[in-house]
Structure 1
Amino acid sequence: MTALRIKPALLQLHSIVGLTAALILSLIGLTGAIMSFEDEIQAGLNAALAHVAPRAEAPLAPAALIARLQADPDIGKVSAITLSRDPAAAVRVRFARNTDGGRPSSLLVDPYDGRVLGEPRGEEFFATVRRLHRWLLLPGDGNGAGRQITGAAALGLVVLLITGVVLRWPRRATSAKAWLKPQFGLGGRGLHRSLHSVVGTWVLPVYLIMALTGLSYSYAWYKDGLTWLLAPAATPMPGKAARGRSEADTQAKPLALDLVWATLRDQVGDRFAVMQLTLPAGAGTMVRVRTWPSEGHDGRRDEFRIDGTTGRLTTAERYADGTFGERVLARILDIHRGSILGWPGQLLFMLAAALMPLFAVTGVLLYLSRRRLRRRAPQPTVQLVPGE
Structure 2
Amino acid sequence: MSQKKTAFAKLIGTLHLWLGLASGLVVIILGLTGAIYVFTDEIKPLVYKDRLFIQPENKPKLPLSHLLAVAQKAVGETRPVTRVEISAQPDRTYIFRALKVDKEGFSHWDYYKYYTRAYVNPYNGKVVKLEDSKNEFFTIILSLHMRMLFGEKIGHTIVSYSVLAFVLILISGLVLWWPARWNKSGTDKSFKIKWNAKWKRVNYDLHNVLGFYACIILFVCAVTGLVWAFDWVEKGVKTVADGGKLAEVPAVFSDTTQNKDANAVDRVFAALQKGQPRAYGYLINFPAKGKLPINASTYLTAGNRYDRIQGQYDQFTGAQLRSRSFDELSNGEKAYAMNFDLHVGAWAGLPSKILTFFAGLICASLPVTGFVIWWGRRKKEGKGGRGRKGGRRMVVARKTSVGGMVEPGYAPMSARLSEEEK
TMscore range, shorter length? 0.7 to 0.9
Q: Please state if 1:32 is matched with 2:34.
A: yes
Q: 2: distance between equivalents of 1:33 and 1:137?
A: 17
1:280-328 Cα offsets, whole Å, 9 max, x none, are 0233451111110134562211111101112222221211333565433
Q: Please state if 1:208 is matched with 2:219.
A: yes
Once the 2 structures are TM-superposed, how far is the Cα of residue 253 of structure 1 from its aligned partner? 4.6
Give the corresponding residue for 1:134.
146
Residues 313 and 322 in structure 2, CA contact (< 8 A), matched pair in contact too: yes
Give the corresponding residue for 1:3.
5
Residues 82 and 92 in structure 1, CA contact (< 8 A), matched pair in contact too: yes
Residues 191 and 209 in structure 2, CA contact (< 8 A), matched pair in contact too: yes
Q: Please state if 1:82 is matched with 2:85.
A: yes
Q: 1: distance between equivalents of 2:36 and 2:75?
A: 36
Structure-to-structure mapping, 1:242-321, within 5 angstroms? 242=253, 253=260, 255=262, 256-265=264-273, 268-296=275-303, 298-321=305-328
The secondary structure found in structure 1 opposite 2:52 is: coil
Structure-to-structure mapping, 1:190-229, within 5 angstroms? 190-229=201-240
Give the corresponding residue for 2:249.
237
Once the 2 structures are TM-superposed, how far is the Cα of residue 238 of structure 1 from its aligned partner? 2.8
Give the corresponding residue for 2:63.
61
1:219-238 Cα offsets, whole Å, 9 max, x none, are 00000000001134653433
Q: Please state if 1:362 is matched with 2:369.
A: yes
Q: Please state if 1:179 is matched with 2:182.
A: no
Once the 2 structures are TM-superposed, how far is the Cα of residue 196 of structure 1 from its aligned partner? 1.4
Percent identical: 25
Q: 1:257 to 1:198 in 2, by over 3 A?
A: closer
The secondary structure found in structure 1 opposite 2:149 is: coil
Q: TM-score, normalised by structure 1?
A: 0.86
153-162 or 367-376: bigger deviation? 367-376
Q: 2: distance between equivalents of 1:197 and 1:79?
A: 47
Aligned match of 1:334 in 306, 319, 341? 341
Residues 194 and 205 in structure 2, CA contact (< 8 A), matched pair in contact too: yes
Give the corresponding residue for 1:189.
200
Equivalent residue letter for 2:239: W
Once the 2 structures are TM-superposed, how far is the Cα of residue 20 of structure 1 from its aligned partner? 0.7
Q: 1:296 to 1:64 in 2, by over 3 A?
A: farther
Q: 1:167 to 1:300 in 2, by over 3 A?
A: same
The secondary structure found in structure 1 opposite 2:194 is: coil
Q: 1: distance between equivalents of 2:221 and 2:75?
A: 44
Once the 2 structures are TM-superposed, how far is the Cα of residue 353 of structure 1 from its aligned partner? 0.8
Q: Please state if 1:52 is matched with 2:76.
A: no
Q: 2: distance between equivalents of 1:349 and 1:205?
A: 10
User: CA RMSD for the aligned pairs?
Assistant: 2.9
The secondary structure found in structure 2 opposite 1:275 is: strand
Give the corresponding residue for 2:22.
20
Q: 1:362 to 1:294 in 2, by over 3 A?
A: same
Higher strand share: 2
Q: Please state if 1:170 is matched with 2:179.
A: yes
Q: 1: distance between equivalents of 2:248 and 2:40?
A: 32
Give the corresponding residue for 1:149.
158
Residues 155 and 215 in structure 1, CA contact (< 8 A), matched pair in contact too: yes
The secondary structure found in structure 2 opposite 1:67 is: helix
Equivalent residue letter for 2:150: L
Unaligned runs of 5+ in 2: 103-109, 390-422
Once the 2 structures are TM-superposed, how far is the Cα of residue 329 of structure 1 from its aligned partner? 2.5
Q: 2: distance between equivalents of 1:93 and 1:297?
A: 21
Q: 2: distance between equivalents of 1:362 and 1:378?
A: 24
Unaligned runs of 5+ in 1: 382-388
Give the corresponding residue for 1:110.
121
Equivalent residue letter for 1:110: N
* RCO higher in structure (CA 8 A, sep ≥6): 1
318-327 or 79-88: bigger deviation? 318-327
The secondary structure found in structure 2 opposite 1:106 is: strand
Q: 2: distance between equivalents of 1:212 and 1:150?
A: 13
Q: 1: distance between equivalents of 2:75 and 2:379?
A: 68
Once the 2 structures are TM-superposed, how far is the Cα of residue 265 of structure 1 from its aligned partner? 4.8
213-222 or 348-357: bigger deviation? 348-357
Q: Please state if 1:346 is matched with 2:349.
A: no
Q: TM-score, normalised by structure 2?
A: 0.79
The secondary structure found in structure 1 opposite 2:119 is: strand
Residues 19 and 169 in structure 2, CA contact (< 8 A), matched pair in contact too: yes
